[in-house]
Amino acid sequence: MIVIKASNLTKTYNPDKIPVRALRGVDLAIEKGEFTAIVGPSGSGKTTLLNIIGGLDRPTAGKVEVGGKDIAQLSDNQLIDFRKDNIGFVFQAYNLIPVLTAKENVEFVMVLQNRPKAERDKRAESLLTAVGIADKMDKRPNELSGGQQQRVAVARALASKPAFILADEPTANLDSASTAGLLDMMATMNKEENITFVFSTHDQRVIDRARRVVTLVDGKIVSDERR
């Protein structure tokens, strides 16, 4: 089942000044349960593609269907609601809320979804256990290592029970041991819960673990390899 479909996707920045064509007619379909890496040199368009798929940016032209819905046609408020309920994000910079504990960070999206407190507590504790840091749930981000913060970020991304996870350079700030642990955890969730993961990365460690590698150069897909 296809959960993400991009058709003739184009993105041009500064069209009225010095135009920068970040994407040039990208066609891409992602099926449920895939573990896909989008790779390419800096400036190839991989983060732009991920942001458009996730509804964080809008295409200049083309169509993006997520779960059968053309998200480029949604209003800003509709897009916020759609992201909240359907998409989990993991960023290079973690983006945790510094004044909240690990557990409260994981719960945050469920608060926005108006989930009951008992349900929030149970799911947050379950997810932090699943990512291996149940003993850190009362710690704030500045009390956690980079690897631990990224595990909290993954747990937070999963909290809303999204259709898929988008991860933009999630291992860029991690050492080898933390990266291996994080990838093991995400691979297990992908396999056991059939959660779809799409990475934007230049990290060979991530690329080696991916089951599909899509390569972008100058805003175009130049190869699409399934393993």
CATH number of residue 34's parent domain: 3.40.50.300
The whole-number pLDDT of residue 138 equals 96
| Contact partners, residue 69, CB within 8 Å, separation at least 6 | 82
The whole-number pLDDT of residue 161 equals 81
The whole-number pLDDT of residue 85 equals 83
Residue 134 DSSP code: G
The whole-number pLDDT of residue 22 equals 94
Average pLDDT, the chain: 91
The 10s digit of each residue's pLDDT in 12-44 is 998 778 888 999 999 999 999 999 999 999 889
The whole-number pLDDT of residue 162 equals 85
Q: Which of 160, 204, 150, 156 is nearest to 182 (CA)?
A: 150
Q: Which of 157, 205, 161, 166 is nearest to 184 (CA)?
A: 205
The whole-number pLDDT of residue 122 equals 94
The whole-number pLDDT of residue 33 equals 94
The whole-number pLDDT of residue 158 equals 85
The whole-number pLDDT of residue 182 equals 85
Domain that holds residue 191: 2-226
Low-confidence residues in the chain, pLDDT < 70? none
The whole-number pLDDT of residue 72 equals 84
Q: 117-130 and 102-112 are packed helices; what angle lies between their axes, rounded to 10 degrees?
A: 130
The whole-number pLDDT of residue 63 equals 93
Task: Give the percent of the chain with pLDDT over 90.
Answer: 59
The 10s digit of each residue's pLDDT in 57-85 is 999 999 999 988 899 889 999 998 888 88
Integer angstrom CA distances of residue 11 from 46, 98, 180, 183? 12, 33, 34, 30
Distance between CA atoms of 5 and 14, rounded to whole angstroms?
26
The whole-number pLDDT of residue 206 equals 92
For the chain, the domain total comes to 1
pTM of the model: 0.88
